[in-house]
Amino acid sequence: MTGATAAQWCAAAELGDVVLYDVIEGLPQGKALDLFEATPLAGVDARVRGTNRWEETAGSDVVVITAGSPRRPGMSRRDLLAVNHGVVAEVAARAVEHSPDAVFIVLTNPVDVMAYVVLRASGLPPARVVGQAGVLDSTRFRAFIAQELDVSVEDVTALVLGGHGDSMVPLVRLAQVGGVPLSELLPAETIARLVQRTRDGGAEIVGLLKTASAFYAPGAALCEMVAAVLRDKGRLLPAPAYLQGEYGLNGLYTGVPVLLGAGGVRRVVEVHLEPEERAAFLQSAAEVQASMAELPGAPC
Name the 3-class secondary structure at 78.
helix
157 burial type by CB count under 10 A (0-12 exposed, 13-18 middle, 19+ buried): middle
CA dist., res. 298 & res. 217, Å (int): 32
Nearest-angstrom CA–CA distance, 206 and 193: 19
Q: Report d(CA 4, CA 226) in Å as an integer.
A: 14
Check if the beta carbon of residue 104 is closer than 8 Å to that of residue 129: yes
Catalytic residue selected from 85, 98, 164, 272: 164
User: Is 164 one of the annotated active-site residues of the chain?
Assistant: yes
> Exposure string (b/e) for 217-233, b if CB count within 10 Å is 16 or more?
bbbbbbbbbbbbbbeeb
The C-alpha atoms of residue 215 and residue 77 are separated, in whole angstroms, by 15
Q: Which residue, 131, 138, 136, is CA-closest to 105?
A: 131
Beta bridge partners of 170: 160
Cα(10)–Cα(226) distance, rounded to whole angstroms? 8
Residue 249: phi and psi, rounded to 5, are -120, 150
Active site residue ranges = 164
